[in-house]
Amino acid sequence: MVEGRRHTLRDIAATLDLSVNTVSRALSGKDGIGARTRALVRAEAERVGYVPNTLARSLVLGSAMTFGLVITNPSNPFYAQLISGIEVRARAHGYSMLLAVTDESEEIEARAAESLLRSSVSGAIVVPVQGKVDPWRRLGGVGVPTVLINRDLPDLGYHFVGTDNEVGAYQATAHAIARGARSIVVLEEDLPITTIADRVAGFRRAMAEADLPVPRGSVISVPTRRYEEAALPWQPEQAYRVARRLLRRATLPDAVVVGNDYFALGLYRALHEQGLKVPGDMMVIGFGDYPFSEFLLPSLTTVRLPAQEVGSTAVDLLLEQIADGPGTEPRKQLIAPTLVTRDSTGPAIPRSRIPHT
Amino acid sequence: MVEGRRHTLRDIAATLDLSVNTVSRALSGKDGIGARTRALVRAEAERVGYVPNTLARSLVLGSAMTFGLVITNPSNPFYAQLISGIEVRARAHGYSMLLAVTDESEEIEARAAESLLRSSVSGAIVVPVQGKVDPWRRLGGVGVPTVLINRDLPDLGYHFVGTDNEVGAYQATAHAIARGARSIVVLEEDLPITTIADRVAGFRRAMAEADLPVPRGSVISVPTRRYEEAALPWQPEQAYRVARRLLRRATLPDAVVVGNDYFALGLYRALHEQGLKVPGDMMVIGFGDYPFSEFLLPSLTTVRLPAQEVGSTAVDLLLEQIADGPGTEPRKQLIAPTLVTRDSTGPAIPRSRIPHT
DNA sequence: TATTGCTACGTTAACGTTAATGGAGCTGCT
DNA sequence: AGCAGCTCCATTAACGTTAACGTAGCAATA
């Protein structure tokens, strides 16, 4: 079946002795076509295995029915889920997805933006590296709807969907305090992004509300930026190194809130080596609720980030913007994360309740 | 800068009083253009922020400079890494990447194949669901180079890049035997794919070489197929349930080889609940070397799958096929995985050797 | 000076599709 | 019978780009 080259509307038109336009309209379901003609065309299209050429279609329609997705790193489980969420929702509306990976590099990001521009994407969903703003300004300048994810660039006035990191960190910290922690430390990535600042703010708010001091050294930066093709266990490893230094302090914190669940892994190891118990000697709270976090020993209390929801919300914002045209007020949508309480902040619960299958 | 609509070659041609063709050739670096004219054109293009329209270019050239990537699930760390590997390599050669996620559904897969066909991708890299063959046959039928990843569909005669699962499972099993295991159990996904069969074969070969029996019940299937929007910890959870049943057996195996590192998580938990120690009471060997596996407690011995290498090899095969045209003999490329020996199969090594930073 | 050959550019056509417009043939009404 | 109005299809143009070919102008050569 269907060997050789691709058949076009013209081929079908020629064999049926019709005009190209008639064939086009017959196939696309427009009216003004006789029932018998339409059936004939459909049958012939089926017979030769006709596949419409999206390039030509997009060229004349001015829209490629494609969304550009620009993320920093798919090996971050949050972004992996985000990809799924966006892809599913986009495809449901007939859009394909062009994916670009920036790996936190401004240079790659600029090229990716340029590439989306050339491809005439109908919209873009972007996790910006949060350095330069210009590449994305150009996209909006020519009328490409753009939604920023996770990290806002307020200067652009674009739509934004993210998780409420301030609240997430607040919840995490407040939870630790409720469980008895009085001295708490935060381990965060060393990226210059709003995410981090928001979380630190949430942490400080919770501490302030409990009248707890936040001495210097309470917020520790974990070096994780990397442009290389990536030894992947980089993040746990770096967190492990930082945690080892932390554990050499004279007085140890009661709880540590880490910037992502990979960091918790490194911290777990450092604690284990020192013979310190979680949560007995130190509570640990993660960020992300990665697929493995529930099954760590002890299972990790963590702030669940609604990746799928963020993704589908972003798609909805694009669709809305495409339908309503430009000029819509930029919407900043913060989706609240939820704290998932597990064993790393409380007594290990006997799992014997779990039903046998 | 650069507001309003997009400028075209015609715009530039009009303001400079040149022909469209001249502008095109001036910008694309073709010769037969005077130095002064070229400079003029370049300057004007820069001034108005000209962005070439890939759609039009692709239409006339017949190639979209785009690769289609079809995977089952980006939350599988192997595929997350694969995406990175492919994207980087493809972009280095000027290709963009269209991503489709099938979630193991044949129906979605068929639609994805159709979508790639419509988009005139220059090539496709596919992790097939391994049900129907037809969608992919059509792609090859119209001359789209296609490389299959991980799961071969031999009927198609396409290029194939995968990991040598037989050898991987053999190594894992042989390693366990070398460490003293005599009774070994395999936990695998319940997918009808060659991957699983190959691994079971490798397992059996290692057992046979050591003259060890493989009684019924040595290969256990873990139900993981899911089409829904996916509770993500599904895989560890299912493995946990299966492991609980396993641990109720009268005699327990000395070692368990699991189909992916998520399964190891579930197994770890089940063992922990029974008070069984890894590796003392039971060795555990994973598959995948996921980012967290090195940092589990105990760290997980696992078969590292070269995802990045698989990805870049696939891209290279596509590029080669595009350069040489069709008719090249299909190449089946198996990349050997490497066993990473860690604590889950041997005595916990004191980590005090790790240098302080 | 006529011929050749080169440079630098313009003209035309094409890629495959959709939209706008036009027109032939039929039906129905007065 | 004449005309309007409808159905059904054809014609034309357009989207933005590249490729093939044509040609004017000039310098070098015979």
Cβ–Cβ under 8 Å, residues A113 and A105: no
Contacts of B103 (CB under 8 A, 6+ apart): A84, A88, B72, B73, B226, B227, B230
Give the pLDDT confidence score for residue B351 in this predicted structure. Answer: 39
Find, among A91, A97, A87, A92, the residue nearest to A67 by Cα. A97
Which tokens is A318 given? 């694009």
Rounded to an integer, what distance in angstroms lies between the CA atom of residue B334 and that of residue B64? Answer: 29
Other C-beta atoms lying within 10 Å of the C-beta of residue A47: 13
Distance CA A300, CA A261 (A): 8
Question: What sign has the CA pseudo-torsion B65, B70, B76, B79?
Answer: negative
Q: Are A351 and B237 in contact (CB under 8 A)?
A: no
| Mean pLDDT computed over every residue of chain A | 90
Beta bridge mates, A227: none
Specify the DSSP element, H or E, that contains A147.
Answer: strand A146-149
Nearest C-alpha of chain B: how many angstroms from A98? 5
Give the pLDDT score at A225: 65
Measured between CB atoms, does B14 come within 8 Å of chain A? Answer: no
d(CA A289, CA A307) in angstroms, rounded, equals 10
DSSP category for residue B67: E
Q: Do residue A291 and residue B111 have CB atoms under 8 angstroms apart?
A: no
| Global confidence as pTM | 0.89
Cis before residue A298, ω within 30 degrees of 0?
A: yes
Q: Which residue has the tokens 């699983």?
A: B196
State how far residue A242 is from chain B, nearest Cα, in angstroms.
Answer: 8
Low-confidence ranges of chain A (pLDDT < 50): 1-2, 229, 231, 348-357
Q: Residues 110-149, chain B: which have Cβ within 8 Å of A? A: 111, 114-115, 117-120, 137-138, 141-143
From the list B127, B128, B121, B125, the residue with the least C-alpha distance to B86 is B125
In whole angstroms, what is the distance from residue A179 CA to residue A168 CA? 17
d(CA B227, CA A215): 49
pLDDT of residue B211: 97
Cβ–Cβ below 8 Å for A245 and B52: no
| Amino acid code (one letter) for A109 | E
Write down the pLDDT at residue B352.
42
CA distance A241 to A219: 15
Task: Establish if B355 touches chain A: CB-CB under 8 angstroms.
Answer: no
Q: Could you tell me whether strands A159-163 and A146-149 are parallel, antiparallel, or unpaired per DSSP bridges?
A: parallel
Residues A280, A342: Cα–Cα separation, whole Å: 13
The pLDDT value given to residue B194: 85
Single-letter residue type at B88: V
List the B278 CA – C1 C1' distance (angstroms): 101
How far is residue A280 CA from its own chain's centroid?
A: 34
H-helix or E-strand containing B270?
helix B261-273
What span, in angstroms and rounded, lies between the C-alpha atoms of A90 and A319? Answer: 9
CA distances B317 to A251, B72, B82, B311, Å, are: 57, 21, 15, 10
| Chain A closest-CA separation from residue B303 CA (Å) | 15
What span, in angstroms and rounded, lies between the C-alpha atoms of B335 and B311? 11
B214 in the Ramachandran plot: left (φ > 0), alpha (ψ -120 to 50) or beta? beta
> Tens digit of pLDDT for each residue in A36-62?
999 999 999 999 999 999 999 999 998
Separation CA A351–CA B271 (nearest Å)? 12
pLDDT score for B190: 87
For an interface test with A, the pick among B232, B235, B308 (most A C-beta atoms closer than 10 Å) comes out as B232
**DSSP state, residue A186:** E
Between CA B169 and CA A46 the distance in angstroms is 46
Residue B148 DSSP one-character state: E
Question: Three-class SS of residue B99?
Answer: strand
A341 touches chain B (CB under 8 A): no
pLDDT block averages, 10 residues each, chain B of length 357: 74 94 93 90 95 96 94 92 94 96 92 95 94 89 92 91 96 96 94 89 98 96 67 78 95 96 97 94 96 95 95 95 81 94 77 41
Residue B211 one-letter amino acid: D
Task: Provide the token pair at B217.
Answer: 């019940």
How far apart are the C-alpha atoms of A80 and A90, rounded to whole Å? 15
